[in-house]
Chains A and B, each alone.
Chain A
């Protein structure tokens, strides 16, 4: 049990350590030393992921783990580490830094249980555990009205979606008599009579997932929450939280609903087209960088759905691969926004004008991140997107990928807008040169290297492919 729950136990240990450290009196003013050790612990936590994972089940088949799930957890650990590094500038002057990490690690723990869930109830518990601390995190800046608003919006929407999800879950239980994925797969065999009964319940369950991945039409909370929350939380929401739900969504679809593919494929097709199109259209006119990245991340969710639609080992591995790349590129973008916000408080696109003159390295990283999000070579994003579309092409959905490809052109327009702002526009008062902390710079260099190199080291994708499965 200790071995199978390794990832979770380490996180629990971290939580305990943080709690105890919190109780130590004194030195409340200078947080830099404690932040250093926290980051070291998170790094060790990430390194533990490299120890091979055994396959196994626990808790009456509710909890399942294998190599693929280990990799997914490791990716989330990795993302959390980068976010923690990026948050340094912001946290070093914050009295509640420990609380931040307590909440952060708790959500991560919830996500780990969720990813490992092979039972809908377990999944629900994990989902809630991942979401509730997030609302507290979104409202973390206690003296900011916008932050409080963002927390309230997140919690209300989460509760609503959870309620819908639970209702669907109850209906599914009524129909199949089980909440275990494998048992459900046997009951949900997809004969036409079964469709009528299960369509509604599945739709409700999908709604629950849809809220968390923020796919259209369940995306309305995203932009407001992203804008109001502190940048670190926004990046956590858009990368880690989203990816974890994507992982478990894949398991649910590929295992529990493997015989229902004719039902969920059209659903996913429609939502993916809506998601990327609306996400892109709304992103076109955003001025605030966080809102902009919010809509861009909605559009990215649309592309992820296309990868899931591949319903093959290629589909699953391409999504995992994309998540890795997405961690690099989106956290690279958020990292730049985050250090600029921490240093100058500026978050608008207009403030970025002429930035290449004053902050060339930050501008170059943001340029690469934008190219990677847009899927342009030589950045890793090119490979990530192409493989997801390839997975869908394998099933013959050529019209769908044509729509996706045209959507990428729209998205290229607004990503290029950022680049234009930094490199071509002139500004009276560009953001002055500044040096960010060593932590942020480490995080940014990791993102930089990841964006450039991930695509060329094919071994990573080949490994993901070898641990993936399809229908």
Chain B
């Protein structure tokens, strides 16, 4: 087994070892530091993967998937442990590592059942890593379901507000999605070999098989909606506002930052890539839904007064843009969609971490009951404003790069339907600006609302670690987008080729 392949396995084994170490310790500080060390190592591993990937590519290695590793698992039914990464997976792995690392520090103050909390959080993140590097649909599905379940415990035990309702709603809706997905994936398996003998879950092999169009028409909606639910596909997004607002800080961060990306990733690399003919035929349905989601999410945000709901609804809008980019079915729009996945991931994680920190200080998430916070906690306030600017797509931050790429790609489809959908979706930029500026104006600027706010302390060291990690990702992608966008662009070759076959 070559050394590069071990690198991929490490993405599963590092969290696994961290989990085992966690089981052995009781001391609060050790729990924190073991988690931080494990996820720090994971972040280094992700950066190492990114660098290795870029080196391989620049040395002219044009294989669609790099660092491949395959081990037989269930030989009787040809399920294998098959891992490998392309540019999209690398970007997603880096995102997961960044968000989880920040999440560990953002939840430094969790004191109730700390061990169980970090255990669930790292399990969640491990499942996401496994999902993004899987090339076998079985393991992909395994990790997908594994990622959903810890969320129930995280929200239900450590959440706030209507946590039990929100936890149940989120879990059932996402598992509902996975029910649809399961049928679709089993369908792919049994259509993966026209001769009917060597069925496989191997994505690379299925991609080269042309599945009959009738079967595609049945399975494409199942898979796309199945993944779409976790990607907040309108009108099945309703778990998101409730779930994210009830979840504890780090759980919201990882869930909105990473788990919602599982949806976009799956829609792109499973639904669209493996069932391209149906995607060509049916993408219009999802364009309508995604456009509606973009607009609905943006407008709903305007009237929210709870900071978490504001971010949750704006996530619905931003994630719908991911699905819109994918459904536009051209290379530029899809590149934008993946960039948007990354950008939204770090941005929303930053928002949720800030909201958690602000809530700890002000004990309310209602913006109308706060005011002038920028004066008393300037660091957190400034970072919030920067995140807001990224959200409304200001050049220099990742949000701008991602959105503009999606819209440019979308506009390349020169028929009336796509143009109209694009134009409608574009208006969300204006609406986003409205709600971001409104929120900032109400609770950060203006006079200090309460006397006691003057005694508030600004960010502590662990809060700075969390925010700086996320902030640097936003800025780096904003300034040097081509590192990522080139990687994504060339990795989309397979999807685009399938779509044109």
Instruction: Closest A residue to B176 by CB, please name it.
Output: A409
A-B contact pairs, 17 of them (CB 8 A): A314-B77, A376-B145, A382-B142, A386-B182, A387-B77, A389-B186, A393-B186, A394-B190, A398-B186, A398-B187, A401-B186, A405-B180, A406-B179, A412-B172, A424-B163, A424-B164, A462-B74
Instruction: Closest B residue to A413 by CB, please name it.
Output: B172
List of A residues within 8 angstroms of B75 by Cβ: 458, 462
Taking the closest CB of chain B, its distance from the CB of A367, in whole angstroms, is: 9
List of B residues within 8 angstroms of A394 by Cβ: 190
A398 & B183 in contact (Cβ 8 Å cutoff): yes
Asked if B146 is at the interface (CB within 8 A of a chain A CB), the reply is yes
Q: Digitize A375-392: 1 where CB-to-B-CB distance is under 8 Å, 0 elsewhere.
A: 011100010001101100
Q: Which of B150-164 contact A (CB under 8 A)?
A: 152-153, 156-157, 163-164
A458 & B145 in contact (Cβ 8 Å cutoff): no
Q: Which of B221-250 contact A (CB under 8 A)?
A: 222
Asked if B175 is at the interface (CB within 8 A of a chain A CB), the reply is yes
Of the candidates A377, A390, A398, the one whose C-beta lies within 8 Å of that of B146 is: A377
Q: How many of chain A's residues touch chain B, expressed as a range?
A: 20 to 34
Instruction: Closest A residue to B73 by CB, please name it.
Output: A458
Taking the closest CB of chain A, its distance from the CB of B126, in whole angstroms, is: 10
Instruction: Closest B residue to A410 by CB, please name it.
Output: B172
Of the candidates B143, B146, B171, B182, the one whose C-beta lies within 8 Å of that of A416 is: B171
- The complex places the Cα of A398 from the Cα of B187 at a distance, in Å, of 8
Asked if A257 is at the interface (CB within 8 A of a chain B CB), the reply is no
Of the candidates A377, A389, A412, A465, the one whose C-beta lies within 8 Å of that of B76 is: A465
Asked if A317 is at the interface (CB within 8 A of a chain B CB), the reply is yes
List of A residues within 8 angstroms of B142 by Cβ: 377-378, 382
List of A residues within 8 angstroms of B175 by Cβ: 376, 408-409, 412
- The complex places the Cα of A229 from the Cα of B152 at a distance, in Å, of 34
- The complex places the Cα of A419 from the Cα of B157 at a distance, in Å, of 11
Contacts known (A382-B145, A393-B187, A424-B157); A402 close to B179, Cβ less than 8 A: yes
- The complex places the Cα of A386 from the Cα of B142 at a distance, in Å, of 10
List of B residues within 8 angstroms of A409 by Cβ: 172, 175-176, 179
A393 & B189 in contact (Cβ 8 Å cutoff): yes
Taking the closest CB of chain A, its distance from the CB of B70, in whole angstroms, is: 14
List of B residues within 8 angstroms of A465 by Cβ: 76-77
Asked if A466 is at the interface (CB within 8 A of a chain B CB), the reply is yes
Q: Digitize B75-115: 1 where CB-to-A-CB distance is under 8 Å, 0 elsewhere.
A: 11101000000000000000000000000000000000000
Instruction: Closest A residue to B113 by CB, please name it.
Output: A356
Contacts known (A377-B146, A382-B145); A461 close to B76, Cβ less than 8 A: yes
B187 & A466 in contact (Cβ 8 Å cutoff): no
Taking the closest CB of chain B, its distance from the CB of A460, in whole angstroms, is: 10
List of A residues within 8 angstroms of B187 by Cβ: 393, 398
Asked if B149 is at the interface (CB within 8 A of a chain A CB), the reply is yes
List of B residues within 8 angstroms of A419 by Cβ: 152-153
Chain A binding surface, main DSSP class: helix
B145 & A377 in contact (Cβ 8 Å cutoff): yes
B164 & A420 in contact (Cβ 8 Å cutoff): yes
Instruction: Closest A residue to B148 by CB, please name it.
Output: A376
List of B residues within 8 angstroms of A390 by Cβ: 77, 186, 189
Taking the closest CB of chain B, its distance from the CB of A238, in whole angstroms, is: 24
Q: Digitize A30-46: 1 where CB-to-B-CB distance is under 8 Å, 0 elsewhere.
A: 00000000000000000
List of A residues within 8 angstroms of B189 by Cβ: 390, 393
Asked if B483 is at the interface (CB within 8 A of a chain A CB), the reply is no
Asked if A423 is at the interface (CB within 8 A of a chain B CB), the reply is yes
- The complex places the Cα of A386 from the Cα of B141 at a distance, in Å, of 11
List of B residues within 8 angstroms of A317 by Cβ: 76
A405 & B183 in contact (Cβ 8 Å cutoff): yes
Q: Which of B188-236 contact A (CB under 8 A)?
A: 189-190, 218, 222
Number of A-B contacts (CB under 8 A): 84
Chain B binding surface, main DSSP class: helix
List of A residues within 8 angstroms of B465 by Cβ: none
A405 & B149 in contact (Cβ 8 Å cutoff): no
- The complex places the Cα of A462 from the Cα of B77 at a distance, in Å, of 8
A405 & B179 in contact (Cβ 8 Å cutoff): yes
Interface size on B, residues (CB 8 A): 32
- The complex places the Cα of A409 from the Cα of B77 at a distance, in Å, of 26
Taking the closest CB of chain A, its distance from the CB of B162, in whole angstroms, is: 12
Asked if B168 is at the interface (CB within 8 A of a chain A CB), the reply is yes
Q: Digitize A419-449: 1 where CB-to-B-CB distance is under 8 Å, 0 elsewhere.
A: 1100110000000000000000000000000
- The complex places the Cα of A31 from the Cα of B477 at a distance, in Å, of 72
Most buried by A among B143, B176, B183, B187: B183
A371 & B149 in contact (Cβ 8 Å cutoff): yes
Taking the closest CB of chain A, its distance from the CB of B145, in whole angstroms, is: 5
B149 & A408 in contact (Cβ 8 Å cutoff): no
Q: Digitize B60-79: 1 where CB-to-A-CB distance is under 8 Å, 0 elsewhere.
A: 00000000000001111101
B74 & A416 in contact (Cβ 8 Å cutoff): no
B190 & A393 in contact (Cβ 8 Å cutoff): yes
Most buried by A among B79, B157, B171, B186: B186
Instruction: Closest B residue to A458 by CB, please name it.
Output: B74
- The complex places the Cα of A462 from the Cα of B171 at a distance, in Å, of 32
Instruction: Closest A residue to B80 by CB, please name it.
Output: A458
A406 & B176 in contact (Cβ 8 Å cutoff): yes
List of A residues within 8 angstroms of B190 by Cβ: 393-394, 396
Contacts known (A398-B187, A412-B171, A420-B156); A389 close to B74, Cβ less than 8 A: no
List of B residues within 8 angstroms of A458 by Cβ: 73-75, 79
Taking the closest CB of chain B, its distance from the CB of A324, in whole angstroms, is: 15
- The complex places the Cα of A402 from the Cα of B143 at a distance, in Å, of 20
Q: A378-B142, A398-B183, A408-B179 are in contact. List 16 more A-B contacts (CB 8 A).
A: A390-B77, A393-B186, A401-B183, A401-B186, A405-B182, A406-B176, A409-B172, A412-B172, A412-B175, A413-B168, A416-B168, A419-B152, A420-B164, A423-B156, A462-B74, A462-B76
List of B residues within 8 angstroms of A420 by Cβ: 156, 164, 168
List of A residues within 8 angstroms of B171 by Cβ: 412, 416
- The complex places the Cα of A390 from the Cα of B137 at a distance, in Å, of 13
List of B residues within 8 angstroms of A413 by Cβ: 168, 172
List of B residues within 8 angstroms of A424 by Cβ: 156-157, 163-164
List of B residues within 8 angstroms of A466 by Cβ: 76
Q: Digitize A347-389: 1 where CB-to-B-CB distance is under 8 Å, 0 elsewhere.
A: 0000000000000000000000001000011100010001101
- The complex places the Cα of A465 from the Cα of B75 at a distance, in Å, of 10
- The complex places the Cα of A382 from the Cα of B180 at a distance, in Å, of 15
Contacts known (A423-B153, A458-B73); A402 close to B145, Cβ less than 8 A: no
- The complex places the Cα of A396 from the Cα of B218 at a distance, in Å, of 12
Taking the closest CB of chain B, its distance from the CB of A434, in whole angstroms, is: 22
- The complex places the Cα of A412 from the Cα of B176 at a distance, in Å, of 10
- The complex places the Cα of A40 from the Cα of B375 at a distance, in Å, of 74
- The complex places the Cα of A462 from the Cα of B79 at a distance, in Å, of 11
- The complex places the Cα of A311 from the Cα of B318 at a distance, in Å, of 47
